[in-house]
Structure formats: structure tokens, C-alpha cells
Structure 1
């Protein structure tokens, strides 16, 4: 007779005896089930703390830029590359930590991030700059630039984030709760953001520190939030009965916000910021923050729904 496989806690791997406590497809020992099932009010607080911390980080870099004076050559390029990578890493850690039911495998996180980054470089940049050549014609008037930002730029970046999640994790056993869609979506968005920020630095031979850090921090937040919103729609479609248009709706919403954000910050340059640039950047930041705090609410809701649906199974 075939022996039934041993059920273990998904966190501590302690062998369990029936009845098993299950969340989604994961089994928990009594101790860890109590930890994940206790009331959790920290999503909003964590989100606010993260925003404040990133604001302080930006302010510190801007202050150091004024204190150190202008940089040039390899020093400016090295600092610019560092600024392109650090915000994405900080946001990646933040979103990863919000999945308190069970953090996703780090190799899956890394794979989604790298695939999104590579697709953004190999496909995204070529579509935008070589095929559509958006920079050549899109700025002819306001309506044209907005339409190009949404229908070409926003859709391109969002499609890359979607493909990274869909190809690597959507159909795997690791994608087994609503929060997973948000986590993997934000990771894919950060892969796209990292490539955009790296090209922003390299194409300008480095960046002026004050406008540079504000731009890359805001863009990382925005792309992560748009990816997370799309991932939420993908997870809802997988775990609940949703109509066929549900995922396209989520994709269109995220792509539209992505394009609007891109259009708003399009006037920000590496050379410096005028009043118009500050206005554009602040409006873009407003879109990013609205998407982020919407995502924070969805993270809390996704965790609560998973906990309500938990049960004991023999």
C-alpha cells in the first residue's frame, strides 16, 4: 500500500497530524497559524513609514548633492548607477515583507525581476525607440503626447510586467493566494523600473543628484504599484469566478495609469528642474502615491480574504 505523504508546516516544516490547518494550499502548525491569523493593522502604517523613509532618502541625497557640489565623469556615472539600483532594491524588500502568510521563494522573485528587466531592454526599448520612435513624433502636441504615452508606452511597459508574471509563476504551485499576484506584479514592475532607471542614467552619462534621485525613486514606486494592481486582478481571476474581461480590465487600468504617469513626468530632465518640471514631477508623484495606497488597501484585503477562507482539513 502506498504510504500517504507527510504533511509539514510550510514555514517551519514540522510534521503535522490531522486535522490540518490550511490557508490556500499551505499547511501550518498551530504556532505559525496563530501568528498569521492574528489581527494585522500594519499595512497602512508600513506603507506610510516606507513613503516617509524614501522621502528622507531623497532629501538626504539632494542635501549631499548641494554639499558636495557638482560631480562629473566617472564619479557622476557611478553615483547615478547606484541611485538607479538602490530604490528598486528598497521597494523590493518592502513588498516582499508584506506577504506575511508565506514569503515567496527568493529564486522565483529573482527570476520574475530579471525576466522583466531583460524583456524591458530587449523588447520594450526597441519597440518604443526603434519601431514606434515615440521620441521623434509624440511631442508634437499635448493630445498626441498623452495618447502615445498611454497607448504605446504604458501598454508596452505593462505588457512586459504581465508576461514576466504569466510566463514564470502564474501557473505554478507557488502562485496559490491573492497576495502572490500583488507580490509578483510589484516585482515585475520593479524589473521594468530598474531598466528604465539604468537607461536614464547611462543615456545621460550620469545624473544631477537632486533631480535624479527624485525621478528614480518616483518611477520605482510607480512601476511597482502599477504592476501590483495588475497582479491583483490576475490573482482574483485565478482564485474566484470572474468574467473574461476581468484581467484585460486590470491590465488596461494599470497601463492607463502607467501612461499617464509617464506623460506627467516626461518634462523632467537630468539637467535640472524648473517650476514646470517640479509641477510635472509632483503630479506624477501624485499618481504614483494614489496607486500605491490603493495597492496597500488591496494587500490588506487579500490577506483578510485568505484568512477568512482558512479551515481545518483532515
Structure 2
């Protein structure tokens, strides 16, 4: 019974956040089965990511800066970006800018949810610890996903000459954001909270703005406005 409660507490933040971002799609919500498949892809990539990270740690050591920006943030975000680009980017269901956010958040939260479950099972996990992880690591992964999906959405519907730039930004900016997060959390300073709280506020504010912009650029938004005018 205790294990069930711990697992529920570990899974709930990811599912709740995924539901939140999914329901923010104003015009043409994605098929739930597609979103769940991408969420499960996030679960599946945990193992190869762990193997790559372990290998790089053995090769390069665990220097804080290198670990934060390359071994942790770099590997995790680039693997998620690679999967999204090759499996989702050209999919027919990716038909409006906000879809990039939905799918990027889904794969990010799939990864974060399994990571949270493994932490809860193999580390002493109190209610306070699970709340802490919901507010920081799990939310952080979701917000890095918002950034990635936003730029993939821009790339998908931008002129061909500028789409490459946005595809690169979809990888580079989440790596930078994630790296800063990991750098703060791994710094060892007793004042880490004074840095992580402003960072999370910034990510949430920026993320919500990007969500609004992506929704506003939906091709379905014009159709809705035209219908409203006719009525």
C-alpha cells in the first residue's frame, strides 16, 4: 500500500502537467492516443539516455559545468529533440504551431515521470520530497519541452529558408535552460533557492507567453474568427 502511494505521488505531477498543457490547445486538440504514445516514448528513452550519460561520465568525469550542460542537459534534451524531429515533426497530426508544444511536453514529461518513479523507489521519498520534485525537476522538464516545442512549431510553419534556424534553436535553447537549472542545483551553494526560484518564475512566464503566441498563430484561429463573424 505504501509503495502504491509513493508511485502514485511520483506519477501524478507528470500526468497533471501533461493534462494542463494539453488542455491549453485552443483550436485543434491532438488525438489522445498520439499524445500518450509520445509520452511513452519519453519513458522509453530513459534507458538509452542513462547509458550514454554513464559512458560520458566515465570518459570525462563529473566536472560540474561539463556535467550540467553536456552530460545531463545536453544528452537529455538532444535525445528528446532527435526523437521528436524524426518521428513527430513530419507527422500529419502536427498541423498547427501549438502541436509542437504538446508533443515536446509529452516526451519531456514521459522522461521526467519515469525519472521521478525511479527516484521515489530507490531513494527515501517523503511527501515533502515528492512535492519538491513536482515543483522543480518535473515542472522544469515540462518547461524545457515548451521551449523545444515552440521552436519546432515555428520551424514547421516558417518559410523553408528560415526553418533550419528554428530547428536548431529547438535543440540549443532547451539545452541552455536545462544546463543553467542543473548548474544551480549542482552548485552546492546553500543559497541555491535564491537562484532557482527566479529561474523557474522566468521559465513559467516565458513558457505561458510562448503558448499564447503558438495558439495565436494557429491556422485554425482564422477559421474560428470567420465563423464568429458569420454568427
TM-score tier (shorter): 0.7 to 0.9
State how far apart, in whole Å, the 2-side matches of 1:285 and 1:239 are.
Answer: 34
State how far apart, in whole Å, the 1-side matches of 2:205 and 2:80 are.
Answer: 20
Q: Number of paired residues?
A: 222
Please state whether the residue corresponding to 1:133 is helix, strand or coil: helix
Q: CA deviation at 1:243?
A: 5.0
Q: CA deviation at 1:182?
A: 1.0
Show the counterpart of 2:137: 219
Shift >4 Å, 4+ stretches: none
Q: CA deviation at 1:106?
A: 0.5
Show the counterpart of 1:263: 183
Is the 1:116–1:160 Cα contact (8 Å) retained in structure 2?
no
Is the 2:68–2:182 Cα contact (8 Å) retained in structure 1?
yes
Which residue, 104, 109, 113 being the options, matches 1:185?
104
Distance change (3 Å), C-alpha of 1:118 and 1:286: farther
Which residue, 92, 107, 110 being the options, matches 2:18?
92
Q: CA deviation at 1:154?
A: 0.4
Which TM-score applies when normalising by structure 2?
0.85
Which residue, 130, 155, 165 being the options, matches 2:74?
155
Structure richer in helix, relative to its length: 2
Matches within 5 A, 1:144-293: 144-204=63-123, 206-241=124-159, 242=162, 244-266=164-186, 276=190, 279-281=191-193, 283-293=195-205
In the TM superposition, what whole-angstrom CA distance separates every residue of 1:178-214 from its partner, at most 9, and x where no partner exists?
010111111111111112212211221x413213321
Distance change (3 Å), C-alpha of 1:249 and 1:297: same
Q: CA deviation at 1:124?
A: 0.8
State how far apart, in whole Å, the 2-side matches of 1:81 and 1:102 are.
Answer: 32
Which TM-score applies when normalising by structure 1?
0.64
Which residue, 100, 106, 121 being the options, matches 2:32?
106
Question: RMSD of the alignment, in Å?
Answer: 2.5
In the TM superposition, what whole-angstrom CA distance separates every residue of 1:22-50 from its partner, at most 9, and x where no partner exists?
xxxxxxxxxxxxxxxxxxxxxxxxxxxxx
State how far apart, in whole Å, the 2-side matches of 1:157 and 1:249 are.
Answer: 15
Instruction: Specify every segment of 5 or more residues in structure 2 that has no aligned partner in the other structure, as ranges.
Output: 227-231
Show the counterpart of 1:51: none
Is the 1:116–1:164 Cα contact (8 Å) retained in structure 2?
no
Instruction: Specify every segment of 5 or more residues in structure 1 that has no aligned partner in the other structure, as ranges.
Output: 1-73, 139-143, 269-274
